[in-house]
Structure 1
Amino acid sequence: MAVQWALILNGLDSWYYRGKIQINLRSLVYAEMCTVPALISIGTVLGKTNPVHLVLIALFEVSGFVLNEWLLHNFVKTQPSNSIMLLHIHGAFFGLMLTWFLYRKGSEKPFEKEKLSRNSGLFSMLGTLFLWMFWPSFNSVLVDNYPQGRKLGAVCSTYLSLAVSATTAASVSVATSPKGKLNLVQIQSSILAGGVAVGVAMPVVHQPWEAMTIGFLAVVLSTIGYRYLKSHMVLVFQCHDTCSVLSTHALPGLLGWLAQFLLLKDFDDHNTAIRFAVFHITSLFITLSISLSTGIITGVLLKWKFWRPPQDQKCFDDQAYWEFPHLVVVK
């Protein structure tokens, strides 16, 4: 649904040609990119919303991201690929606004069913490994192939950054654990931070050491953020971030934006450099403004009792919306 909505908003939907449906592959890839912020945002309120909420979040998030891309392309003259690279920042801050508006009293303590079982933990780790393997192809879509081999360079840079992320995440997890043990949830939440950061900074990453440094810094921020920021966000800002989207996507995304700002060196004169700095900062400001404002609007809408939000004792309870054959009572 989110992909179809993104296609419709961009005027890039399927068209009929000689009686056959023709789909523009580039348009389809762009639409799929537009759905990623929606998935990121949903991670902040996962377990505390119903399916109707999730549908509304997807529609508003995709609409906001398309609007953001349109503003950057038409007013800041940003390339579409560069504006798409900010999807992690857009989705994370949109979600933080949602979880701020949908905050429930008593979230300082974990909900009754906010637990991680062995089966769900292993399944989540399997999904993380799947993303780890295919993240290089995800980042390679964000760059063109000029000069020749640019896509291959993006793939190699992402692999290097992810490799550093995997080893560093395990090391930092052990170092920050009171018992000196690996935390599976912390690792799987931070292992992709290098891919996020290097994806945002991809246009300026040309050397292996650059990708590895970005991956190292991103995973350190993400791992430490998961350990300490999640609880402090609840106590200080009343934001119960279910999946730690702030440390998984927002912080690495901002680091990638900063790296892109610092590593770009191809300037003919100071005026060009200043112009790039102004446009680069403006693009982040517009992205944050659109994500926060659309998040506020969506949060106000979802706060209505009309949508019948789940009660506190029903939060993180899949049985409320799914049928489980082994729990069916035979009459």
Structure 2
Amino acid sequence: MKKTVKREMSDMLKKSWISDIENIKDLDILEKETQKYLKILKTLSEMYDREGEQSNQPKNEELKREKDEKDLFIFSRKLNGGMGLDKHYEEVVYVPEKIVRQLELRHGDVFKCEKNVLKGGKDYFEKLENQTKPVEIEENSIIEYDYVVVGYDETLKRYVCNEQYGDNGLVSIPTWLIHEQDISKFNLKEGDVVSAARMSDRNIVRIRWKYNTDDVIPTPKPKKATEYKEKTFQNLFEEQEEFYGLNIGIFGAETYICNYIKEVEKRGGHVNYTDSDVRSQIEKVVSQSDIIVIPILQTSHTKAELAKDGAKRSGKPFVILKTNGKTNFVRQVMNCIEEHNLKCEVSK
């Protein structure tokens, strides 16, 4: 019903009502007529309101869809951090390197960003799986280097990267110059271990991340074939009782803790967890655990140091996670169990 029609009908009813008020002398009759007018006017109003809601529903759904799409971006990796592209291919959202590492964002991933919704006016980021991309993005020409060692070349008088930790330990790589600005930004010195990247046509790398050298993967020790059995990705997630009876202490990892708990419990283990920086709480979790897990990208420096010190004092093995995926988490804990010959109880 159009608004003008409703108004015309309402005016006509009100005029008729006024006329009855002026002409009807019997109050009982007038009361009955008044109730009729009120009922008709109320019904008229409700009919208009329902039609208005129905007509606005598609519009409201469209506005909601536009809002949802407005919060979706495709990730474009940069030498440091990245940018979120909207459907117009415009770079509208900056993604800090810390967020890139926490969410394990890769070039072309879709993510959600809500501005200024977290404490302190910080933005909320969330990686979205199996999400239709708002735009298609071309491959970039960035070459990445993880766990490379900072050195100093006396001939060039420059800081360089020419060694890298890998599966075969510390190996030599081509010499790449480190950008001068990053030397002061990260307070780099010889021996530091960093994550770096460069454009394919440049010989200068930019530093993305500086690791705590106490937490970096050491040079692997050679093992006898009978001492270590390589586990495939498939049987890593098929075997169900590798952690049976073990208590795994985890500190921080607020974004990934649910995945970690699930992986431990389905293997028969138990998780002791805290996100507290209080020494007594951290030491309590250490004392109750057989293995200590410290995800350095998702925990505070204080929490990491207290947990590591507690593990060393109590003689308990600890694992430093440098990436947040559950595959790496399970593999690192299993390696720790084998290395320290920890015995799991057998389920009944």
Q: Higher Cα Rg: structure 1 or 2? A: 2
TM class by shorter chain equals under 0.3
User: Higher strand fraction: Structure 1 or Structure 2?
Assistant: 2
User: Higher helix fraction: Structure 1 or Structure 2?
Assistant: 1
Query: Which structure has the higher relative contact order (CA within 8 Å, separation 6+)?
Result: 1
When normalised by structure 1's length, the TM-score is 0.22
